[in-house]
Each structure stands twice: as structure tokens, then as C-alpha cells.
Chains A and B, each alone.
Chain A
Amino acid sequence: MLRRADDRILIGLVRRGSAAAYERLFRKYWPVAWAAAHAVTFDRALADDVAQEAMERVLARLDRFDDARPLGPWVKQIAVNRAIDELRRDRRLVRVEEPREEGPLWQEDAPDLALAQAVAALEPEKRLVVVLHYWLDYAVREIADMLDLPIGTVTSRLTRARNELRSGLEEREEDEEDAA
């Protein structure tokens, strides 16, 4: 509750032109925007750009924001939409030079690292619905709206992705049992 009240005060200050409040809100929600962008794109440089644009877009549109609502989900939504736009645009781009990845993609000590890496290795269309549903907590209907797809298509992609991940996990567990 206090956090929401803080946001309302900060939003009021930003609307009146306060650079300090702008910076405070930017820093507070930058990790939210970046995490959403990175989950969708799996590209740190692209996540930097998407998060930057999403935050600037959020803060430029604060006049229209209903500050009785929480800001976090709105930030996440804008970052996810921008990231999806970038993925669509990226397919049309021809890379002159493949940039080297800078910084780690993973928390190497995370307990479910192998499963997360298996998600990353899915085909892009399946990976996107898994990420949106399981990591960014969107319902199937919301994902269908975001991607402009029928609900049945989203459901079938989720089902096929889960089947692939399950068989991968089972194989891995069998290998581990054999090794033990």
C-alpha cells in the first residue's frame, strides 16, 4: 500500500516536471522492464534498448495513466509489447556482424537452470508463449490478444512446448539415474 502511495506521489511530481522523481521512477521500474524484455528476447543488448524505450514511453504517457492502478503491470505490458515488436522486426533485419553477447544470460547457480535453458532452446514461437505464460504470468487469452493469434493456437503451442520439455526432462533424469 505504501509502495502504491509512493508511486502516486512520484507520478504527480513527474507530471509537474520533476527530474528527480522521473529518475526515481525510471530506476524503480527499469528492472521490471528489462526482465520482461530479456525474457522475451534472450538478448541483453536488445533488452537494454527495449527497456529504455519502454521506460521512456511509460514516463511520457504518465498524463494518461490512471494512478489508482499499479504501475508495474503497465510497465511490464509495454516492455513485452515492444519486445515482441522487436522480435518481429528483427526477423527482417540482416545482421552485418553478429554481436557478441555481453554479460551472462543466466544465473548459473539457479536450481532449475537446465529447464530454463531448455525453454530458451525451444523454437521461437513455442518459446514465446511459454515465456509469456510461465515467466511473465499472462493468461492464454491475454497472450492470444498480444500475439494476434486464436486462443486454440496459443493453447496448442503451449501443449507442444510442454510435451517437448517433459520428454527432455525425462531423458535427462534417466541419464542421471544411469550415471548414478
Chain B
Amino acid sequence: MQRDLDRRLRDARGALARPGRDREDSAVAAALAGRRVRPVWRVALVAALSVAALTVSLGAVAAGSSPTREAAQPAVRVVDRTLSCMPGRAFDGTGARAFGFAVTKRSRYSSTTPWAPASLVLDGASPASARSKFVIVRGHESPSALAAPGLNGPGLGGVYVNTKSCVPSRKSVPLSREGLPGPAVRYETGTGCKSPGRILVRVRATLTAPARWREITPVFSGVQRNVTEMALAIRVERTGRPLLFAQARAASVALWRADSCR
């Protein structure tokens, strides 16, 4: 009986769940984003001197890491998505994760167009680049973003989600300031926060007209349409602790943040 139990106990490990491939993709993206990569020419030289077959297989890995294709989805007027994202490592030696967030005040594209909330950007890694952005919501076209898409990501009005760094989540994230100290910040609307690990992000945006969710670039999926209202809430995934809540409408912008944000 003793040996039988020992054998059965060892066999029982086969009942454990397997890791999710989507989480693996997001973990790799976070690890690569937080890592300083040496110049390409040097890597290429070393790779060329290595076993040829391995070099070929590394190339195959890189070529195979295309973003997840999403099935055609119906056009919607309100986008409401919850994501799980792993921010890059903070440079404080504590092992914490850090992200930046900015919600910008109302603006208008030209003197004849109506006022709209300008943008809301969640940046999950350093150094800042388009690939480091987790979520971008733009009220309307941003000429400065369009001028430098490699730095700012998509520049047209819309909601954009980084599919390399974030994966969809079914967890519940209330769109409210509950648990966050007040009053709201209404002028200085950029902030940096730390999290002990993965964060949950819920973004909600009302569009001027229905649009379909689709792949916009190899990094971003989303909808391309001007936005009239936007809100975003962030929590620590593991504990549910609220970190930030922001909302922007045509006439106002407000940001609540945890004491650990600055």
C-alpha cells in the first residue's frame, strides 16, 4: 500500500494545469522590454559564428512570433475591455514593476471641430517607445503622435491595446475611484506607479460611431474612431488593490491614484 501510494502520488502531478500560452507571450514581452539589448551588429556577428542550424532555428522562432489573429468582430459604439499586463521592472532594486500613465486634457483638432478629451496613455516599460505602450486612447487625430508613430503608437482617434504585452482577462475591475484617496487630480495628470506584479487594466471608451475591433499594427489591436468619453482603472492583479482610476469627457479630466503613485 505504501509503495502504491507513493507511485500514485507521483503520477498525480499529471493532473496539474498547464501554463497559458498567452501569459507566456506577455511574460516574454515584459522581460524583453525591461532588458537592455546590445547593438544588433554585435549579436549578428556572434550568431554567425555559432552553429548554423541553431542560427536558422532562432530565425524561425523570430519569424513565428506573430501577433494573435483576432476573429472578425461586430461593430460597437462602446469599447469595454479588461486586460492583464506585466509592466517592466522598476530600476529601484526591489523587484517591483513600474508603469507610467497620462491623461491629457480636452483639445480640438481644429477651430471648427468640437472639444474632445485628447488622450489617455498607459506606458508599461522603459525606455518609452510605441511598443512599451499598453493602452492608448485618443479622442481624435494627434498630429504630434502621427509625426512619430515609433515613439507614440497609433496617432488617429481610437482605442489601441498592445497585444504583445497584454492579454484579455475575465476578472472584474470596477470603473470607479473606490479605494483611492481624493480629491481627484485635475491639472497635473501624469503619474508613475509601482505594482508588485501583473496589473489588471480595464478601459472603456464611447466612440462617435460604431467600429470593428481589428489588428491595427503588428503590436496594437483596437478600433479606429474618434472617442467622446474614456475611462480606465488599474488594479494589482493578485490582490485586487486599486492603483489608479481616470476618466475624461469633453469638458473635464480627473485622475485618482493610490498613495504609491506619484
Chain A residues close to B by CB (< 8 Å): 6, 9-10, 12-13, 16-24, 26-27, 30-31, 34-35, 38-39, 43-49, 51-53, 55-56, 59, 93, 95-100, 102-107, 110-113, 115-117, 119, 130, 134-135, 162, 165-166, 169
Contacts and interface: CB of A to CB of B under 8 A. Distances in A.
Contact of A6 (B54, B65, B235): B54
B128 to A, nearest CB: 18
Interface residues of B, number: 59
Contacts of B13: 39, 116, 134-135
Nearest to A52: B27
Contacts, number: 185
A166 B5 contact: yes
A118 B62 CA distance: 42
A113 B31 CA distance: 34
Given A17-B38, A52-B30, A24 B238 contact: no
Given A134-B9, A169-B5, A20 B61 contact: yes
A48 B23 contact: yes
B229 to A, nearest CB: 25
A112 B18 contact: no
SS class, residues of chain A in contact with chain B: helix
A108 B65 CA distance: 30
Contacts of A162: 2, 5, 9
A30 B21 CA distance: 10
Contacts of A26: 27-28, 31
A18 B86 CA distance: 22
B19 A107 contact: no
Contacts of A43: 238
Given A17-B37, A20-B62, A97-B240, A166 B11 contact: no
Contacts of B50: 9, 12-13
B188 interface: no
Contact of B35 (A19, A100, A104): A19
Nearest to B5: A166
Contact of A18 (B23, B46, B196, B242): B46
B65 to A, nearest CB: 8
Interface string B27-64: 11011101101110011001100110010001101100
A101 to B, nearest CB: 9
